[in-house]
Amino acid sequence: MSKKNIIIISLIVIVVIGLAIAVLLMDDSFFDEPEVISFDQDIVIDDTSVPEVIVEPEVIINLTPIEVTVTTVANNFAERFASYSSDSGFLNLEEVKLLSTNLLKVKLNEMIEDSEGSDEFYGISSKVLKTDINALDEENGNANIIITLQREETIGSEISVIYQDLELNLVEAGNSWLVNDFEWLE
């Protein structure tokens, strides 16, 4: 064996021995179970410093399967329809066409055609806060829904929050419900 090979093997042996020593000397507390701290005394909180929290009971509303379907379609339509970004054009209106009757699709196409572009950024994102079924006629396949939306509007660099109601008229089309018309309420 050459002198060079002996030096390399010696260095490898020294490194391995050094690592073995380091592992043996390592603090074993790293591998121990976590320490459980227990208190021998009860903890007492001064009642006068803690504000009273009043929790309103949650109202549970049982909806029929048709009511669930109608509100789901209405909520999905409202959030997409009422959200817009000048960066994405009228993608929101294109998306809601899947939830719209042919009559409403014509109205949506007219909205797109009549729109004017702007050089300044404009965006509005909407979130459904409340959904009210105003009327539901299962026999004739009609529903009237009022959606309350929280809308965050951005014009340039200014942001504002507004609350707005959207009235939707839905009709049953085969096995699904579609939005037939809408109206912004004041």
Note the pLDDT tens digit of each residue in 110-155.
Answer: 998 888 767 788 889 999 999 999 999 999 999 999 999 999 998 8
Structure tokens at 25: 């000397």
Please list the alpha-helical segments (H only) found in 26-130. 65-81, 91-96, 102-114
Alpha-carbon distances of 5 from 1, 2, 8, 9, rounded to whole Å: 7, 5, 5, 6
Q: What is the pTM of this model?
A: 0.65
CA-based diameter of the chain, in Å? 98
Query: What domains appear along the chain, each with residue ranges and CATH number?
Result: 65-185 (3.10.450.230)
